[in-house]
Amino acid sequence: MSDRDRRPSEPAGLDGLPPLYSIAKGEVVSVQTYGAFVRLPGYRKEGLVHVSEMSASRVENASEIVDVGEHVWIKVIGREIQGDKVKLSFSMKAVNQGTGRDLDPNNVMAEQDSRRRKQFRDQTSNRITLEAVLNTTCSKCGCKGHFTKDCFSAPGLQYALLPEEDDEEPQQQPSTAAQHQDSDKKKKKKEKKAKKKSKKRERKESESDSSSSSSSECKSKRRRQEHERDRDDKKKKKHKKHKSHKHS
């Protein structure tokens, strides 16, 4: 039996298309950022070579690899019917572009890629947004924000999320305590500064007192000395007068 006889029967919509995992040479008729469309001789339907199927290395843009009108070797890795449309998926990296030799004869890479595409489609079709989860009400505990299968509450007990105001109150308490500590520190610093200033004033006053007392003492001494000199001068004058009277 041939490979075609072993394969399961395919829908009628796929008739007239190139067989799965077949290799052929086609012409590039359109180049997009996400891939290139290739037309095979003898077929009306065009197939897409995605950028991930162009090379074993990463490709950012299909124009880096192919141009319109270029002939390339491809391998048919997917034939799908989506609604009224039939989609063909081709691969260039599974075929040697120089000789046309099949580089994936056991179709291992092709099957892996098809499974990856199916998983991606399943995940995108069943999206669950964060808002939907937050608005979900658990039938076990009656709270919002989680599913019943993820509920951890025991029967008879209910848990609810605390409001944001309660979360902010304990944060304000340490802030007030910190403010009290800062005010106490400032008061202590002010008291220390006042003590230092008072000590400086006392020193200045004591120095001024000592200087004033010493200056007063000096003045009194000078006065005494002057007074004594005046007395001596007067005595000398009297003595001279007395002598002059005697001689006369």
- Which pLDDT tens digit goes with each residue over 3-49? 444 444 444 456 678 898 999 999 999 999 999 999 999 888 899 99
- Cβ pair 62, 45 in contact under 8 A: no
Domain boundaries, the chain: 20-115
User: What digits encode the pLDDT tens for the residues 189-224?
Assistant: 888 888 888 877 888 777 766 666 666 677 777 888
With a pLDDT cut of 70, the percent of the chain lying above it is 66
Indicate the CATH number for domain 20-115.
Answer: 2.40.50.140
User: Residue 194's pLDDT is what?
Assistant: 83
103: pLDDT confidence band, cut at 50, 70 and 90? very high
Residue 91: its H or E element: strand 85-91
Between 8 and 128, the higher pLDDT residue: 128
Task: Round the average pLDDT of the chain to a whole number and report it.
Answer: 76
CB 46 within 8 A of CB 38: yes
pTM given for the model: 0.44
In whole angstroms, give the CA distance from residue 155 to residue 96.
Answer: 64
Judge whether 95 and 75 are in contact, CB under 8 Å: yes
